[in-house]
Structure 1
Amino acid sequence: MTTKITEQDETRASLYWWFASLFSQELTAEQLKQYRASPLGQGRALLNALAEQKEFNDAANAVITALDNLVKLPHPELELAADFSQLLLTDLKTGAPPYASLYLDQKGLLFQQPHDDMQALLQDQGLRITPDFNEPADHLAIQLDYLGNLILQTSTQDPQAQHQFIQRHLLNWLPQWVTRSRQVRRNGFYPALAQLLLQFIEQDSQQPQPVAAHI
């Protein structure tokens, strides 16, 4: 049976892919321009749209404030790259690396059951991690990318698979990761973005369609 893909499906999938892209690699100077208030870039327009929804107002505005402070600096892309590195490319002692295994394994080790579970899901769908993104399968960006694909495969007509994935593979560790990200003091862009992601996922899991309806 052919799955009917609605506009809301496409919007939700695109939002998860957007979050995935932001947590997979640093923004370049050219990409950062899309988040400036003037002239209004696509990234900024998306954040503004999220800020207009009461569920995401505080978190989205925190991201916007961090960006506005960032672009005042002489080399904002270098500052943001340093933030990315300190938060996402270090260990739990100094940062908040985005791997489910670290937060779900009792010893805080990589390549544990969450990694194996994600590998199995990817293989079942015939998906592979691109060679240029050499990360464990339970990296947040990979999980979000998978969820975007899952949305288009199952559609909002049958959201149960999406709901189960969110509960079993994201919401079981993301709150811990967001809390940890707040403890890493830098510009504040990525911790605010992490909080926005968490709020979006929590709301989307409860009401898949309305979240994307006005974005």
Structure 2
Amino acid sequence: MQEIKAFNEQRAEIYWWLSSLFAAELTDDELNKYHSPEIRSFLSGLGENPSLKEPIQVFTESLNRLQVREDAQLELSADFCDLFLKSDKHGALPYASMYIGKSGLLNDQPAQDMADLLAKHNVAVNKDLNEPADHLAIELDFLGNLIIRSNELEAEAHMNDALHEQAEFIKNYLMTWLPQFVAKCQTNDEFGFYASAAKLLEAFCQLDYTYLEGEQD
């Protein structure tokens, strides 16, 4: 049980990190940290998993290009704005309802379903993130909370139920639209930083889902 809980902490941190990438533009300080030995070591560690090797390599290459990109922070902020804050025509809006919904962005069922889930688990959304509940950053933040809360459980049966719930969330709330979102990022992110981050996210979600399914066998 302790091994699972230790691994859960790592999983939650990764989801929270990925959430932060899609929540807001990176500041100069945040961008500088990505070039630090600590972050590079963290990424190298993730890349040791065969399923993550290629996405980590592509993400790292985009970081390397950022080091020589003129006005890197401003340009990356512009990329973020063009992809995630403008129109879906030339961007990749990070809302589930843009890919699986049928009515409108703010009133669609995916946003309501996610809002209900947040309320059910009493998880508060970051007040600075003034977005509908089906925003990618909110869904990833919620998953991190779901994982870390399961570490309060002591019975193995309860932990298995929690892992199943996490697997179902990845399957039903993320993988139902994440591949389409990743494809849009690949098409519309010319520089490639956010496209590589999205691809890494998809690979990690798939890897995590496989792990969770295996833990329940």
| The two structures share one fold, judged by TM-score above 0.5 | yes
Residue 128 of structure 1 is matched in structure 2 by: 124
Contact 2:123 2:145 in 1 (8 A): no
Which amino acid is the alignment partner of residue 101 of structure 1? S
3-state DSSP class of the match of 2:69? Answer: coil
Which stretch of structure 1 is more off in the superposition, 84-93 or 156-165? 156-165
Moved over 4 A (4+): none
Q: Is the 8 A contact 1:16 1:147 kept in 2?
A: yes
What SS does the aligned partner of 1:79 have? helix
TM-score (norm 2): 0.88
Is 1:161 the equivalent of 2:161?
A: no
Structure 1: distance between partners of 2:107 and 2:141 = 19
Give the distance between the partners of 2:67 and 2:138, measured in 1 at CA.
28
CA apart distance, 1:107: 5.3
Across the aligned residues of Structure 1 and Structure 2, the Cα RMSD in angstroms comes to: 2.1
Offset at 1:63?
A: 0.7
Question: Please, which runs of 5 or more residues in structure 2 have no aligned partner?
Answer: none
The answer on 1:9 being equivalent to 2:20 is: no
> What is aligned with 1:213?
none
Structure 1, gaps ≥5 residues long: 211-215
Q: Alignment partner for residue 57 of structure 2, among 37, 55, 61? A: 61
> For residue 102 of structure 1, what is the aligned residue in structure 2?
98
Partner SS for 1:117:
helix
SS in 2 for 1:56: helix
- Structure 1 position 35 matched with structure 2 position 34: yes
Q: Would you say the 8 A contact 1:154–1:161 is kept in 2?
A: no
8 Å CA contact 1:8–1:209 kept in 2: the answer is no
Per-residue displacement from partner, 1:100-140 (whole Å, max 9, x unpaired)?
A: 00100135744311100010011111222232210000000
Structure 1 equivalent of residue 205 of structure 2: 201
What SS does the corresponding residue of 2:134 show, helix, strand or coil? Answer: coil
- TM-score normalised per structure 1: 0.88
In 2, Cα distance between the equivalents of 1:102 and 1:209? 28
Which residue in 2 is equivalent to 1:74?
70
Counterpart of 1:7 in structure 2: which amino acid?
A
Output one character per residue of 1:69-96: Cα deviation in whole Å (capped at 9) or x when no partner: 1110232111111111111112210100
Higher helix share: 2
Moved more, 5-14 or 187-196: 5-14
